[in-house]
Amino acid sequence: MVRTYARGGGAANGPGGGAGILRRTLARNRGRLAIGTALLAVHQIAETMVPIAIGIIVGRAITTGDTGALVVSVLGLAALFLVLTAAWRMGARFIVFAMQNEAHLLRVEVAGRILHPRGVRTDLRSGELLTVSTSDADREAWILDVIPRIVAALVAAVASAVTLLVIDVPLGLAVLIGTPVILGLMQLAAPLITRRATAAQAATARASGSATDLVSGLRPLRGLGAERAAAARYRSASADALRSTLHAAKATGVFVGTSVTVSALLAVGVAGVAGWFALQGRISIGELITVVGLSQFIIEPLGTLARMPGFLATARASADRLALVLDAAPMVPAGSQTLPARVTLELADVSYRSLRGLDLHAHPGELVGVLAHRPQDAEALAHLLSGHVAPDDHGGTVTVGGVRLADIELAQARGAVLVEPHNSDLFAGTVGSNVVAGSPDADLTEVRRALTASAAVDVVDAHPDGLDLPVTDRGASLSGGQRQRVALARALLSQAPVLVLHDPTTAVDAVTEQAIADGISRMRHDAPERVHTTVLITSSPALLAVADRVLVLDEGRVVREGTHTDLATADENYRKVVLR
């Protein structure tokens, strides 16, 4: 069920691209990020102090045989391990909390943009939007883990270099010079990794979108015998996603392997030179142990620095995909005009998709049938009235109560016209919760009346749970006809001034279809004041027979108009389509 609303363009007030999203993430988590980064830096400094402490213990306690110094040194080493462990645990807690909270905020924000009444102008399909709101939201939040790790690794590298400078200037210079060189070489490959990560995530999103469409449309695909073609398209999208992912993984693997190898060679070189200096008596045994320990330890922060550009590229790619939604312009503007008590639906010289110069009028209290010889005309008309079409995407004018739909105040516009599409989704819950989803204040009498009019009352009465009958996601626990009737009851209960029903009885038998036709006419048009307007886009003879008049569409415009009886008598083409 889709409520229409004012349509139009308008600039999005988004964060400003992927870079803007990353900056905003860092800014709104700066408190936890600063504390977590500081604690991880303390952890890395403590890690750096471990080989230094061991060297001091060897040089001042073990080689001298000083038992008191040994006891004090061991206690100091234990305190050092306590500090580094506590700093890591607390720092990781702050960082993980910030990551999870940011991912949650992004998921809510993306969902809000997608579900906003004004809509969002994007070419992404539903499956791709799902990927953006889940996987990409999680990966963008990685930036809150990447930054602390980079800072902590740099702190460890600098602390190690300073210690080596104190022990021996050439050793310290080797680290101070070698580390920036390694980092500079790593940055040369960052753009390639970013491009490949972006391509891989886009391909994965397309495959996810194809899978979502395939699963949701499996029944009609089987009916058309097109499941093999659809499966082939999914296999192609999946293979493309696999190739892109492998290309990204290959680039990242080569990059990390090369960087780690170079870092390890630097560490081995420093340790080798230190051993040579010890043999010459240039440094002591304790200092040698410290240098060897630091040369082994520094491989870890340098390896971290080697891996981080890959994670940073993934976070940036996900941020860019999030920006496709968060920076997208709204589909419709927020109007300001109000509606009169009695509303008339009017389309004047409308061109949209297959529609060409369509003129359509539906007056208050009128039940209008629309027969489209071409299915695409019916789809275009229903979609146009659903409110998902921006004003600049169609020609002509659509007015409700004499006011352009794009100019009506948003809340009134949403309630003015209700379109029940051909394929309606139900929500996980119960039959009752689905029926009253758009009318939470409806009482039981009104609900029963809507269920009776839609012939869905037997769905409730045939089960012991009644209105509490469980419904799974998308109504999968109900048959096609039951889903269609429950969705129709929901639409009828809304009492919308203008109700547009597109093929509401395709999944029911002829007897039920006649009951529904009588129920719609009775519930919407039996009141003395007859203020409700109903448009039935259908080829059902039972529904068209209860209409006050029927409009026949062909080639995108109205080519015939009259009552069902008159058209069935005088128009052979009408008779062939309807009286089948």
* Model pLDDT, residue 59: 66
- Phi-psi region for residue 409, left (φ > 0), alpha (ψ -120 to 50) or beta? beta
Structure tokens at 465: 């749970």
Determine the distance from the C-alpha atom of residue 260 to the mean position of all C-alpha atoms in its chain, rounded to a whole number.
Answer: 35
Per-residue pLDDT of the chain (580 residues; tens, 9 = 90+): 444 433 333 344 567 788 899 999 999 999 999 999 999 999 999 988 888 887 777 766 666 666 776 777 778 888 888 998 999 999 999 999 999 999 999 999 998 888 877 778 787 777 677 778 888 899 999 999 999 999 999 998 888 878 878 877 777 777 667 766 766 666 666 666 666 766 776 676 667 666 666 555 554 544 445 556 666 777 777 777 777 777 777 777 776 677 667 767 776 777 777 778 777 777 777 777 777 777 777 777 877 877 787 788 889 888 998 998 998 888 776 766 777 767 889 999 999 999 999 999 998 889 999 999 998 999 999 988 887 788 888 899 988 888 887 777 777 767 788 888 877 778 888 989 989 987 888 889 999 999 999 999 988 888 888 899 888 877 788 888 889 999 999 999 988 889 999 999 988 899 999 999 999 999 998 866 667 899 999 999 999 999 999 999 999 999 999 999 999 999 888 988 887 6
**3 state DSSP class of 505:** coil
Q: How far apart are the first and last CA of the chain?
A: 29
Q: Is 306 exposed, middle or buried (0-12, 13-18, 19+ CB in 10 A)?
A: buried
Task: Identify the bridge partners of residue 372 per DSSP, sorted by sequence position.
Answer: 553
| Helix/strand/coil (H/E/C) assignment for every residue in 431-455 | HHHHHCCCCCCCCHHHHHHHHHHCC
* Model pLDDT, residue 224: 47
The string of DSSP letters for 530-562 reads ---EEEEE---HHHHHTSSEEEEEETTEEEEEE
Query: What are the boundaries of each domain within the chain?
Result: 2-8+15-326, 333-420+498-580, 429-495
* Model pLDDT, residue 466: 86
Same fold for the pair 2-8+15-326 and 333-420+498-580: no
* Model pLDDT, residue 329: 82
CATH of the domain spanning 2-8+15-326: 1.20.1560.10
Spell out the CATH class of 333-420+498-580: alpha beta
Q: How far is 296 from 303, CA to CA, in rounded Å?
A: 11
Q: Is 392 exposed, middle or buried (0-12, 13-18, 19+ CB in 10 A)?
A: exposed
* Model pLDDT, residue 293: 76
- Residues near 313 by beta carbon (within 8 Å), at least 6 away in sequence: 190, 193, 194, 197, 198
Contact between 33 and 25 under an 8 Å Cβ cutoff? The reply is: no
* Model pLDDT, residue 1: 46
* Model pLDDT, residue 277: 75
